[in-house]
Amino acid sequence: MNRDQALDVIARLRNNVKKVVYGRDELIDIVLTAMFSNGHVLTDDHRGSGVGLIASTLGYSIRDDLLEEGINIKNFARVNCAPELRIEDLIGEVTSTAAEIPGTIFHYILFLDNFSNADQLLKSRVIQAISDNAVFFNGRNCPLGELFLVIASYHQSDGEIKPLRFSEIDHFQFRYQVKWLDAATQREILMDGKGAEKDIVTVREIIDARKYIQGGAIKFGDDLIDGLSLLSQGIAESDKTQTNGGP
């Protein structure tokens, strides 16, 4: 893969998400930056903020062309992290006939809604999965694929939501506070009928572009601006965004 091809992969994903998500360009760029830098995203948001739509549209945009060993990884899953959510729902379970039923964690893009409200043990398993890029299931470590990306929402402004521990927050390389959209943008959303396209980028293209970028051929604050409107200091200095060191 060369520079133009890598930038084209980013541009196709970004433009496809922007067809259905308005007023969230900075957040879209942060999510894409996480995707192409092996990072994960934690958002302090509210209902209807568009975070889940960004995640689902990315999943919709991807065509899986890999033959992963072990459990088949699917494109996208949305999980409502209610206190009653079971570990088995997330990781998977084995039936009485020894058949494996993989959980929702086995997806390339995993959106965890209300992550802070989940059971503490479940949160710990998610953090472990982020650290290891794998989960222990049915007696073995199961890889989660090269493209594994967690986007978790954290409704910090809701007093009923349990706060996250610093050790949990620290595993997310990008943290972003989502503000309410202005009235003009809300009207634009209501009046528009465009939709995103399906399968516009393959998993292999994303992985190859990421390797090219991480090899130093494209820098996130320099040449990458051609494909992603995100200056290196733009993330670090934003009052809405905090970043941690990459993995």
| DSSP conformation letters of 22-82 | -S-HHHHHHHHHHHTTT--EEEE--TTSSHHHHHHHHHHHEE-----SSSPPEEEEEEE--
| Low-confidence winner among 92-106, 109-123, 161-175 (lowest mean pLDDT) | 161-175
Name the pLDDT band for 232 (thresholds 50, 70, 90). Answer: very low
How many percent of the chain have pLDDT more than 70?
Answer: 80
pLDDT of residue 1: 83
What integer is the mean pLDDT of 63-85? 86
| CA atoms of 81 and 132, how far apart (whole Å) | 21
| CA atoms of 177 and 122, how far apart (whole Å) | 24
10 Å CB burial of residue 201 (0-12, 13-18, 19+) is buried
Instruction: Say if pTM beats, i.e. exceeds, 0.75.
Output: yes
| CA atoms of 16 and 146, how far apart (whole Å) | 22
Is residue 160 pLDDT above 70, yes or no?
Answer: no
E strands present in 61-139: 62-63, 74-80, 92-94, 100-102, 107-113, 134-137
| Low-confidence winner among 104-108, 145-149, 173-177, 235-239 (lowest mean pLDDT) | 235-239
